[in-house]
Chains A and B, each alone.
Chain A
Amino acid sequence: KQEVTQIPAALSVPEGENLVLNCSFTDSAIYNLQWFRQDPGKGLTSLLLIQSSQREQTSGRLNASLDKSSGRSTLYIAASQPGDSATYLCAVINAGNNRKLIWGLGTSLGVNP
């Protein structure tokens, strides 16, 4: 059964720091991996989607990598800003079931001015 783990559960950094959030999954047979952001009391916003055949995706200051064989993904945030403070969630879709996301519990990020 696929399980998605995100470590650490919470992280606090000073403004301007580059940081890495980690996501691991137990079954490497995935269709894609997705990163989302959630602000307090709000819904989720999609950040990046990496297909199983891809190694990384970039959007602005965000870069997500995927290593299927080791069951890991990282979300790199460059030059962090207070507005980046949010919870970041990772989710995978298993190969053969391309609708249902399996979710991690998220990393709560605080960026201090």
Chain B
Amino acid sequence: DVKVTQSSRYLVKRTGEKVFLECVQDMDHENMFWYRQDPGLGLRLIYFSYDVKMKEKGDIPEGYSVSREKKERFSLILESASTNQTSMYLCASTRSNQPQHFGDGTRLSIL
């Protein structure tokens, strides 16, 4: 079975901090994704990557950056955390034309 592991289930940070969310997958998938999920807004794509060192902006990239130095790891970085970035963050991976596999999510609170 594919396993997508997110580094933290719950995280509390302060406004202005630099925050790192890590995601690791074990199935050699070329595509990896970061979403945020908010009530009433659904899943929104922040960034995705289709290969090592490659990245593309999703629908809401402002305030975020990503890093993919190794195929199995995709990191989401909040450059200077703000309260409106409090959310559930979900990582997913896939091979083309296959379903996306999701981690359990990180519930991030910015105080």
Contact = CB atoms under 8 A, between A and B. Distances in A.
Interface string B43-70: 1010010100000001000000000000
Interface in A1-37: 31-32, 34, 36
A42 to B, nearest CB: 6
Interface string A76-99: 000000000000010000000011
A88 B99 CA distance: 15
Given A105-B42, A106-B42, A99 B50 contact: yes
Contact of B42 (A42, A51, A104): A104
Interface in B67-93: 90, 92
B90 A99 contact: no
Contact of A43 (B48, B97, B102): B102
Contacts of A44: 90, 92, 100, 102
* Residues of B in contact with A, size category: 20 to 34
Contact of A32 (B4, B97, B102, B104): B97
A46 interface: yes
A104 B90 CA distance: 16
A60 interface: no
29 contacts: A31-B97, A32-B97, A34-B99, A34-B100, A36-B99, A41-B107, A42-B104, A42-B105, A43-B4, A43-B102, A43-B103, A43-B105, A46-B100, A46-B101, A49-B98, A51-B97, A89-B42, A98-B97, A99-B31, A99-B48, A99-B50, A99-B96, A101-B45, A103-B42, A103-B43, A104-B42, A105-B40, A105-B42, A106-B42
Given A41-B107, A43-B4, A49-B98, 9 more contacts: A43-B92, A44-B100, A45-B102, A46-B99, A46-B101, A51-B97, A89-B42, A99-B31, A106-B42
